[in-house]
């Protein structure tokens, strides 16, 4: 609040560049939440349920939120407790990977529930990368062990004296003669 007011003279291009850098830095620290959706029916078969549950577990392990939708058709709309029970069963089956973010609620013909992951996206990615690296190292170790085993077998075969091949009567025939 000086008198006369202090003004800073600067390059406008530099000012715009610095503002763009600040904006880029703030975007880098933002987290982008992804919501995956899984649709079910109240009368789903047990194998289909297990398949869908596996997809939900995979999404939660990857650090994504999952929106579960139960679609009611026709007379099923008069039995919303079937959908509610199915959502409760799914929530209890995947509770080690995620938690219920919003309780089941009826929305017209559908019933919705949102599951949130227990691990953040960055933690999940780091864990997946560590698992991938561990598997790659394991494969390399197995390949190296296989190579050394093959080299040992070759060395043993080379050390043994070559046995003379017994010749049978068919080996004495002239290959140019056609017997047919």
What are the domain boundaries of the chain?
35-119, 120-154
Q: How confident is the model at residue 167 (pLDDT cuts 50, 70, 90)?
A: low
| Number of helices (H), then strands (E), in the chain | 4, 4
Q: What is the pLDDT of residue 177?
A: 64
Six-digit token string for 155: 């060395």
Question: 25-41, pLDDT tens digit by residue?
Answer: 988 877 777 899 999 99
Question: 39-54, pLDDT tens digit by residue?
Answer: 999 999 999 999 999 9
Query: Is the pLDDT at 180 greater than 60, yes or no?
Result: no
pTM above 0.75, yes or no: no
Q: How far apart are CA 21 and CA 64, in angstroms?
A: 29
Helices (H), the chain: 12-28, 46-61, 80-93, 121-159
Six-digit token string for 24: 């880029």
Going by CATH, does the domain composed of 35-119 fall within 3.30.110.10?
yes
Query: Is the pLDDT at 151 greater than 60, yes or no?
Result: yes
Q: What is the mean pLDDT of the chain?
A: 86
Q: How far apart are CA 40 and CA 83, in angstroms?
A: 9
Question: 77-118, pLDDT tens digit by residue?
Answer: 888 899 999 999 999 999 998 899 888 898 889 999 999 998
> Average pLDDT, stretch 139-165?
87
Query: Is the pLDDT at 126 greater than 80, yes or no?
Result: yes
Question: 57-79, pLDDT tens digit by residue?
Answer: 999 988 889 999 999 998 888 88
């Amino acid at each position: 609040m000086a008198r006369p007011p202090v003004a800073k003279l600067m390059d406008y291009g530099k000012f715009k560049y610095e503002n763009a850098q600040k904006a880029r830095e703030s975007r880098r620290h933002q987290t982008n939440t992804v919501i995956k959706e899984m649709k079910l029916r109240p009368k789903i078969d047990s194998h289909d349920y297990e398949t869908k549950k596996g997809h939900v577990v995979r999404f939660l392990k990857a650090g994504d939120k999952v929106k579960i939708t139960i679609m009611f058709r026709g007379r099923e709309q008069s039995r919303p407790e079937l959908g509610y029970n199915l959502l409760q069963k799914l929530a209890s089956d995947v509770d080690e990977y995620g938690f219920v973010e919003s309780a089941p609620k009826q929305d017209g013909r559908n019933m919705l529930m949102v599951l949130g992951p227990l691990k953040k996206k960055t933690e999940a990615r780091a864990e997946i990368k560590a698992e991938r690296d561990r598997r790659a190292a394991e494969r390399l170790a197995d390949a190296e062990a296989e190579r050394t085993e093959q080299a040992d077998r070759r060395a043993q075969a080379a050390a043994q004296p070559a046995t003379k091949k017994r010749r049978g009567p068919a080996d004495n025939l002239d290959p140019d003669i056609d017997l047919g």
